Structure 1
Amino acid sequence: MRLCLQCQSTQVDADWHCGHCGFSPVRIDGFPCFAPDLATENDGMAAASHDNLDTLQDGSFWFRARNRLIQDLARRYFPRAGRVLELGCGTGYVTRALGEALPQAAISGSEIYVNGLAHAARRLGGKVELLQMDARAIPFAREFDLICAFDVLEHIEEDTQVLERMVAALAPGGGVMLSVPQHPFLWSRVDVYSHHKRRYRRGELAEKCVAAGLTLVRDTSFVSSLLPLMFLQRMMERTDAPFDPSAEHSLPRAVDRGFEMALDLERRLIAAGASLPFGGSRFIVARL
């Protein structure tokens, strides 16, 4: 059900007009905006991040390998999902992959930055409902079979509030798929540039999911094989050197392909049932 964020009524029509209090969200660049004050500037990310990401994602091993893992998990645990929401959909790169994995699903994508939604609209071609909103205030109740947030929660101070709102927006029997950066000892200038509030401790996200009322289904690390290289790079990092935020995603072709092959091996291990204890990322699948 659609939810009015002003009066909490569910008398909301297809154009987001509330029949109880009369509230309708403003539109910016054609997108319904539920947090317009945060649509162009906030403390979650740099305003130009989506413009930069849109030029990098197809060429980076990290985004390609992560998408394949996301597709594997979606097909395995939510093959019959009818309604899907991706929080922090950014440029629509992952949203498109979800649509390929779950072709029967009606997918909605939300993003706090309207410039990200502009890229997503171009990439998705009108196949997905796109909304500008704050993940701490989701305008739905008991609506979705699956809600996803991939590398989103670390940008939000109130991550437990987001998890609680996700649970409230799930239909009975629904579930979530989440990924976050892991291990505080890997903190670097990339995290600072990305406006991360934290890198998660091992087990931290699982504890917060359980506290929000979810039951864990899968809990595994990812980017385990590259962890030594990540640690070494962080240890050698010079704070006085010029910083290029795109460097990690603009590697020589042979290196990029080698890293992708390593992550594909991890993905196959996860598909076979393995749960990797350490890695640069943490993935969780959980259900009501």
Structure 2
Amino acid sequence: MIACPQCNGLYPSEHQGCPACGFIPETVNGFPAWAAELSRAGGGFKAEYFGQLVRLEEGNFWFRSRNELIIWALRKYFPGLESFLEVGCGTGFVLSGVSRAFPDARVVGSEIFSDGLAFAAARVNRAQFLQMDARRIPYVDEFDLVAAFDVIEHIDEDEVVLENLCRAIRPGGGLLITVPQHQWLWSAADTYACHVRRYSAQDILEKLVRAGFEIIRTTSFMSLLLPAMLFSRQRAGSPEDFDPLAEFEISSTLNWTLKAILSLERQLIRLGVNYPVGGSRLVIARKGGASV
């Protein structure tokens, strides 16, 4: 269902607009825009990053390893997935993996910046895309699973976002999120990425419970690379001198080695290991009050 932002009435998401008041979302760059005023000026990110990400994601160890962990978690905890919304889908790299893993599922991607949606639509031509503000998600009880991968740390009102994510999930549905972890890892890389915070496990889990979620499983990841990550962040220097591509433009041998280390880490997570520390945290949850 859609909650009309004009009259607050509910109507089926298949409808182009609200049958009660006639509201229809604007169109920006060919996509429905629920927060058109933010489509090129939304906070928390720089739209010019999308071109850099498209060039880096396919081959880089970090993006590929995170994708493989996400797909594993979806298959294990939500094997019957029929509908999926990714909030903050960026260039569509994760969504393309989800689409391949669940070819019969309805997949929807949203992004506050309309510029990013063109990249995502080129990658996943069967998906539905829309521009929206994660603090004002129009969906109500709509999706089997809603996901946000390294998104909410960009937003001051993260608890508002979590409440919106919960509202968009159908009764009994699930949530999958990743966030950067440990404030002591803060560096120029976080400033450049427009992060507002890095989370502690306690902080993100408490916020999820307050938003209406029950935690199924949580673990750190990028754990075996934590010493290297800490060393890299200490060398990052000031935001003015920071080279954002240095961590990604590495030799093929180093890239392969780091990917192999993270493959081992993922195998241990599959076996039930929950890492207490790591550069990022994965949380698998469900909307409270019903079973998945």
Q: 1:240 to 1:78 in 2, by over 3 A?
A: closer
Partner of 2:178: 179
Does the alignment pair 1:280 with 2:285?
no
3-state secondary structure, aligned to 2:2 = coil
Give, as a single letter, the amino acid of the residue that structure 2 aligns with 1:224.
Answer: S
Whether 2:128 is the aligned partner of 1:132: answer no
The aligned counterpart of 1:77 is 77
Is the CA contact 1:74–1:102 (under 8 Å) kept in the aligned structure 2? Answer: no
Q: How does 1:17-96 map to 2 (within 5 A)?
A: 17-96=17-96
Deviates more, 1:16-25 or 1:191-200: 16-25
Distance in 2 (CA, whole Å) between partners of 1:181 and 1:194 is: 11
Partner of 2:212: 213
Q: Which residue of 1 aligns with 2:290?
A: none
Asked whether the equivalents of residues 47 and 116 of structure 2 are also in contact (C-alpha less than 8 Å), the reply is: no
Q: Secondary structure at the match of 1:136?
A: helix
Give the aligned residue type for 1:276.
Y
After superposition, residues 119-268 of structure 1 pair within 5 angstroms as 119-125=119-125, 127-239=126-238, 242-268=241-267
Q: Which residue of 2 aligns with 1:101?
A: 101
SS for the counterpart of 2:24 is coil
Residue aligned with 1:254, SS? helix
Paired residues of 2:152 and 2:158 also in contact (CA < 8 A): yes
Cα RMSD after superposing both structures: 1.3
Distance 1:224 1:115, change over 3 A: same
SS class of match (1:67): helix
Give the secondary-structure state (helix, strand or coil) at the position aligned to 1:177: strand
Alpha-carbon deviation of 1:16? 2.9
**1:273 to partner: Cα distance:** 1.1
Give me the whole-angstrom Cα distance separating, in 1, the residues matched to 2:213 and 2:12.
27
* 1:202-231 Cα shifts (integer Å, max 9, x gaps): 321111111111111110000001111111
Give, in whole Å, the separation in 2 of the partners of 1:169 and 1:233.
Answer: 38
CA contact (8 A) 1:60 1:256 kept: yes
Q: Does the CA contact (< 8 Å) of 1:59 and 1:250 recur in 2? A: no
Q: Deviations over 1:128-162 (max 9, x none)?
A: 01000001111111111100000001011111111
Contact kept in structure 2, 1:82 and 1:145, CA below 8 Å: yes
Q: Secondary structure at the match of 1:203?
A: helix
Give the structure 2 partner of residue 271 of structure 1.
Answer: 270
Contact 2:178 2:283 (8 Å CA) reproduced: yes
Alignment check: 8 A CA contact 1:4 1:12 kept: no
Structure 1: give runs of 5+ residues left out of the alignment: none
Give the Cα–Cα distance (whole angstroms) in 2 for the partners of residues 165 and 285 of structure 1. Answer: 17
Instruction: Please state whether the residue corresponding to 2:167 is helix, strand or coil.
Output: helix
Which segment drifts farther, 171-180 or 18-27? Answer: 18-27
Give a deviation string over 1:205-260, Cα, whole Å, max 9, x none: 11111111111111000000111111112223322873221221111111111110
- Counterparts of 1:282 and 1:9 in 2: how far apart (Å)? 37
Q: Which runs of 5+ in 2 are unaligned?
A: 288-292
Q: Residues 101-126 of structure 1: CA distance to partner in whole angstroms, max 9, x if unpaired? A: 2222101100011111000111112x
User: 2:142 & 2:222 partners in 1: Cα distance?
Assistant: 32
Deviates more, 1:241-250 or 1:74-83: 241-250
- TM-score of the superposed pair, with normalisation by structure 1: 0.96
- Tell me the distance in 2 between the aligned counterparts of 1:283 and 1:69: 9
Separation in 2, partners of 1:57, 1:50: 10
Q: State the distance in 1 between where 2:54 and 2:74 align.
A: 23
- 2:2 equivalent to 1:14: no
2:133 aligned with 1:118: no
SS of equivalent residue, structure 1 residue 198? coil
Deviations 1:38-78 (A, max 9, x none): 11122210120111111110121000000000000000011
